[in-house]
């Protein structure tokens, strides 16, 4: 019995030392996030997956490894803990929980080019200032870029819809400057592109929505045509 306990302790120490030696290790590739259907289901380490916790899946890193994820697209970063295996799509290196993906504006398109860096295990999970080159020492503060209001007005419909029309929400952003490029991309899927705002606590979220339909079934049809491009898109009622 004592021998078994010693072997377990040695294994734990070896894993801890291996992890400590890897602090600063980086990897660059495509990052994505979990679909909501996995919420509450068991992860590879036995935990229940939650879209509200700062966790992620990686193919090889030891469970409980803490990594910083730097998005090359939004120039935002988030720290997460590895508790699952995956992703298994070619070229993908990490799957984030939805709350982590939201913090780096990944919901648009469902994936970003990212750099992941192993950080000390006691690093606080959640959003952090962006690190410009993944592993370098220079830290760039996260500040929204100035937005030309005239460009914003041209980019999308600003009609305030109060009647019960239906549309499809494809993504949401905390910073207008990160949202604008996706408004233009969305126009190839619908001639009616709307930007709606909603509050989450003290934070304003800018939501890109497509279409304006009197019948929900028409919005559902559009959603089905978009779900491969915009994973997690869903039908909304503009009047709500």
Residue pair 155/126 in contact (Cβ under 8 Å)? The answer is no
Q: Give the long-range contacts of residues 123-129, CB within 8 A, separation 24 or more.
A: 123/66, 123/68, 123/79, 124/79, 125/54, 125/66, 125/79, 125/80, 125/81, 126/54, 126/78, 126/79, 127/76, 127/77, 127/78, 127/79, 127/103, 128/68, 128/77, 128/78, 128/79, 129/77
Residue pair 80/52 in contact (Cβ under 8 Å)? The answer is no
The per-residue pLDDT for 149 is: 42
The per-residue pLDDT for 208 is: 81
d(CA 89, CA 87): 6
Residue pair 126/79 in contact (Cβ under 8 Å)? The answer is yes
Residue pair 165/211 in contact (Cβ under 8 Å)? The answer is no
Q: Domain spans of the chain?
A: 23-140, 149-237
d(CA 115, CA 118): 10
The per-residue pLDDT for 67 is: 95
Quick one: 23-140 is in which CATH superfamily?
RlpA-like domain (2.40.40.10)
d(CA 105, CA 116): 16
The per-residue pLDDT for 66 is: 95
The per-residue pLDDT for 1 is: 59
For the CA atoms of 6, 10, 11, 12, the dihedral, rounded to the nearest 10 degrees, stands at 100
The per-residue pLDDT for 125 is: 94
Given the candidates 1.20.120.140, 3.30.70.20, 3.40.640.10, 3.30.70.1070, the CATH classification of the domain at 149-237 is 3.30.70.1070
The per-residue pLDDT for 15 is: 53
The per-residue pLDDT for 21 is: 47
Order the strands of the 193-200 sheet from edge to edge: 193-200, 203-213, 166-173, 234-237
pLDDT lower than 50: segments of the chain: 7, 10, 13-14, 16-21, 133-155, 158
> Closest by alpha carbon to 169, among 187, 153, 193?
193
d(CA 177, CA 74): 9
Which two three-digit tokens encode residue 7? 């072997």
d(CA 135, CA 113): 15
The per-residue pLDDT for 84 is: 93
The per-residue pLDDT for 146 is: 43
The per-residue pLDDT for 85 is: 92
The per-residue pLDDT for 76 is: 87
Beta-carbon neighbour count of residue 154 at 10 Å? 10
Are both 23-140 and 149-237 of the same fold?
no
What pairs with residue 113 in β-bridges? 30
Q: For the chain, give the longest Cα–Cα distance.
A: 73
């Amino acid at each position: 019995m004592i021998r078994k306990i010693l072997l377990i302790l040695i294994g734990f120490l070896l894993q801890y030392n291996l992890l400590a030696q890897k602090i600063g290790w980086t990897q660059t590739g495509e990052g994505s996030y979990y679909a909501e259907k996995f919420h509450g289901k068991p992860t590879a380490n036995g935990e229940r997956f939650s879209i509200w916790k700062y966790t992620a899946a990686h193919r090889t890193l030891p469970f409980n490894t803490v990594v910083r994820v730097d998005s090359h697209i939004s120039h935002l970063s988030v720290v997460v803990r590895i508790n699952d295996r995956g992703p298994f799509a070619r070229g993908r290196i990490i799957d984030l929980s939805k709350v982590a993906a939201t913090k780096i504006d990944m919901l648009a398109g469902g994936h970003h080019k990212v750099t992941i860096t192993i950080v000390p295990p006691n690093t606080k999970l959640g959003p952090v200032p962006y690190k410009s080159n993944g592993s370098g020492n220079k830290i760039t503060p996260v500040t929204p870029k100035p937005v030309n209001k005239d460009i914003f007005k041209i980019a999308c419909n600003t009609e305030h819809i109060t009647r019960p029309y239906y549309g499809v929400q494809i993504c949401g952003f905390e910073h207008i400057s990160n949202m604008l490029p996706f408004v233009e991309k969305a126009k190839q899927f619908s001639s009616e592109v709307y930007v709606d705002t909603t509050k989450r606590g003290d934070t304003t979220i800018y939501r890109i929505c497509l279409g304006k339909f009197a019948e929900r079934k028409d919005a559902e049809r559009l959603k089905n045509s978009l779900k491969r491009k915009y994973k997690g898109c869903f039908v909304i009622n503009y009047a709500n």
